[in-house]
Amino acid sequence: MSIEFDNNLPIYLQIMNYIKRQIVSGSLTPGDKIPSVRELAAELQINPNTVQRTFQELEREGIVETRRGLGRFVTSEESKIMEIKKEMAGELLDKFVQGMKELGFGKDDIVSIVTEAVETEFKEQERKSFG
């Protein structure tokens, strides 16, 4: 696991976001064991207390669960994972729309640009899978 830390955001939040991305992308699947506090702290070269805080927050949000004597695991609740995915998508969309508005694009322009980009992406995927 490698994370380039941003000095403008607390490290524990950056680790939380990284783990959430790993879960929603499928790199970590429901029921997967996540590294221990010591393992992750050593790997990222950060204070174990920071990792502990990260895990406490992830557990509070229901994203990971602790099994006594076994460690921490990704939640098996598919609905929780979908909730995280939608939340992250919403954040991306908010940033995108705000950026497009700052560039002077209106609603119809933004919709048109996104539609074209999505169609192009899917055509490219089809071409790759059949070609």
- Whether 128 has a pLDDT exceeding 90, the answer reads no
pLDDT in tens, 19-51: 999 999 999 999 999 999 999 999 999 999 999
Domain 11-76 has CATH 3.30.390.50: no
User: CB neighbours of 16 closer than 8 A, spacing ≥ 6?
Assistant: 54, 57, 58
User: CB neighbours of 52 closer than 8 A, spacing ≥ 6?
Assistant: 37
Contact 63, 23 (CB under 8 A): yes
- Whether 57 has a pLDDT exceeding 70, the answer reads yes
Q: What proportions of the chain, in percent to the nearest 5, are helix, strand and coil?
A: 65, 5, 30
Residue ranges covered by each domain of the chain: 11-76, 79-130
pLDDT in tens, 63-107: 999 999 999 999 999 999 999 999 999 999 999 999 999 999 999
